[in-house]
Amino acid sequence: MPTTAIQTHGYYLGVPFDEALTRHATKPIADDVDETQLRQWCRRAT
């Protein structure tokens, strides 16, 4: 039975939160995820 390798890549982009918030505003989920939720996520990720 052949095996399939699965590759996972993680990336870190070190930008200030204000810049991340500006970029987030251009994303399709911007209306669903507000600044408070984004701050909570960013706090958990660090």
The per-residue pLDDT for range 7-44, each reduced to its tens digit, is: 988 877 788 889 989 999 999 999 999 999 998 887 76
- In this prediction, residue 14 carries a pLDDT of 83
Confidence class of residue 45 from pLDDT cuts 50, 70 and 90?
Answer: low
Distance between CA atoms of residues 29 and 23, nearest Å: 11
Residues ≥6 apart with Cβ < 8 Å to 33: 24
pLDDT value for 44 = 66
- The more confident residue out of 15 and 45 is 15
**What pTM was computed for the model?**
0.60
Q: Is the dihedral of CA 7, 12, 13, 18 positive or negative?
A: positive
Per the CB < 8 A criterion, the answer to whether 27 and 5 are in contact is no
